[in-house]
Structure 1
């Protein structure tokens, strides 16, 4: 499959998406279309068991939305632009495979919002995060006002979004915005290590756990607990569920088939 604004490579069971608009990898409509297309492709590709998203050039994961495109849009057109980001980010957020953001350099505005849509965020020690939109007279429009509070809490999210301050990787890790900080030259190695570790897990169990967690963050506790049970039953009834439990009882290594 061909892409206009991203590059897709595969290393074993891991697919790597590279935002390919260096040096700053701004997000435009073409990027959103490509990300949505890639998510659809990976969702049905049995060879892919984990996905990494990163940015080309090392200076930026993504420096935000492409202001040169946005500035000329009418309100109706900018609504469509935001819908493009919502569709792409939601497809990645709900992809039936784990997704890792490998962040080097700046992740501002839409770039940070893209990272928020991933399951995990690994940051290089040169990474910087910010939501500068209020300084431009606008607000985040790619999920920042919704995903950030769910991750770091409403008060900290308001601080970051209202003030627009830039935070470094260590601060991002401290507040729970990223999972881990590593040296810049080890970023992709660490992301690949995690992706390969995830790829060795039985896929149905990962899918059901992800579905339960994602749904649970948006419903009341009672509904979330019921969804957890339903997803548990699906995993339990899977071939890998049977294999995993049998292997435990028989004290042997399980042989998972992702079924």
Structure 2
């Protein structure tokens, strides 16, 4: 339980609210240490992809709590810096600052340590430390000139002047200014756009951008080897994304966030599908119609067609097959879903994005399990993805294949046995 901030986790987004409104969210060492632990947890949580930090009450953060310091308050170690962010240089996940009011001194330095700044029209920014005989040594003197150039930065640093949100956008350190009442919805809109992309691609992109800034040579920065890029190019997403693009397998309703089967709003769609949709980008809505020769269909059309052609098991019939030797249960969910909720005992894990490769004997990724005479029972979380997967492998010639209509959710709700999955290292 946190004392100085409010933390909410939902739909792969962690929201942190600085909670010292009586002091305009000025932070003392215990609060900074606590925020360091909060963002340590964010970095380690595989289900959290983006963070938003904002403030309770009228301010984002008035900076260092000088009153606490003057009163001789306890100083505790805060190795991750101000707000748990200013001395954090290894966070590969994006952080958005939703600045709802004053961001002064250390408060502005927290925002500068974030990757995006979305500002209320009531936001004000400053590095006023020189006015009280101090300096912005928690990154303000270093980050601001890198983000907007030395002349513009020194115009703020040497005067300590207050800058309104609109000017901050013109200077280049604010991404968007919105009416005050729309701030959090705007920040969530940006966060949701990020979560529609493949996490490994986002993390590699952030890593390369920041590390390139440390290299004065453009050529050297482009030739450098990045572990984050290596992780991305060896992932299943990297294989499946271009393949899905070429085959025009895209679901525009999922991409736009409308409610319905496979909707991103309920996060049922697996990460490979998320990458597949994001690969075309928001600009390509109605892609099929603009190209003139591709007929656009909805995800509901595809699922309805699949359900009409594949064999569907209810939970009781599926459970009855569990101990039979010639039955292979195939889990097509994302690995994070398995780690979080477990799986059907003995099930083979075949990520949806690689399934066609694993089933095709001519593919270099072919898995021999799919060459057996067994009966295959596919399942996902709710039955939608498994219907499409069953139809796909059936069309490829795989026989004796069915799926669980109510998915793993129905399996667990029925009290059927499950098996824990060890998290990946």
Per-residue CA deviations over 1:87-109 (Å, capped at 9, x if unaligned) read 92246564232110000110000
Determine which of 242, 247, 252 is the counterpart of 2:244.
247
The partner residue of 2:164 within 168, 172, 176 is 168
Distance (whole Å) between structure 1 residues aligned to residue 109 and residue 86 of structure 2: 11
Question: Which has the higher mean CA deviation after the structures are superposed, 64-73 or 7-16?
Answer: 64-73
Q: Are 2:87 and 2:138, in contact at CA under 8 Å, matched by a contact in 1?
A: no
TM-score (norm 1): 0.89
Match of 1:133 in 2: 129
1:233, distance to aligned residue in structure 2 (A): 3.8
Q: Please state how far the C-alpha of 1:84 moved relative to its aligned partner.
A: 5.2
Q: Deviations over 1:224-258 (max 9, x none)?
A: 22336664443222111111111112221352458
User: Which whole-Å CA distance do the structure 2 matches of 1:140 and 1:81 have between them?
Assistant: 19
Cα distance change of structure 1 residues 177 and 18 upon mapping to structure 2, 3 Å threshold: same
Counterparts of 1:258 and 1:172 in 2: how far apart (Å)? 41
Question: RMSD of the TM alignment (CA)?
Answer: 2.4
CA distance in 1, matches of 2:114, 2:142: 14
For residues 247 and 116 of structure 1, do their structure 2 counterparts lie closer, same or farther at Cα, with a shift above 3 Å needed?
same
TM superposition score normalised by structure 2:
0.56
Structure 2: how far apart are the matches of 1:45 and 1:82? 21
Between the aligned partners of 2:225 and 2:139, the Cα distance in structure 1 is 25
Return the match for 1:159 from 143, 155, 161: 155
The answer for unaligned runs of 5 or more in structure 2 is 251-271, 276-333, 337-425
Structure 2 equivalent of residue 30 of structure 1: 30
- Cα 1:245–1:229 change in 2 (3 A) is farther
- In the alignment of these two chains, the number of paired residues is 254
Asked whether the 8 Å contact 2:31–2:83 carries over to 1, the reply is: no
Return the alpha-carbon distance in structure 1 between the equivalents of residues 78 and 154 of structure 2.
21
Q: Does 1:68 align with 2:67?
A: yes
Counterpart Cα distance in 1 of 2:240 and 2:249: 10
Which region of structure 1 is more displaced relative to structure 2, 220-229 or 122-131? 220-229
Q: Matched residues in 2 for 1:21 and 1:87: separation?
A: 12
Q: Which has the higher helix share?
A: 1
Preserved CA contact (<8 Å) 2:86 2:110: no
Q: Which has the larger radius of gyration?
A: 2
Q: 2:231 aligns with which of 208, 230, 234?
A: 234
CA contact (8 A) 1:82 1:142 kept: no
Residue 115 of structure 1 deviates from its aligned partner by 0.2
- Quick one: distance in 2 between partners of 1:42 and 1:119? 15
Q: How does 1:186-201 map to 2 (within 5 A)?
A: 186-201=182-197
In structure 2, what is the equivalent of residue 213 of structure 1?
209
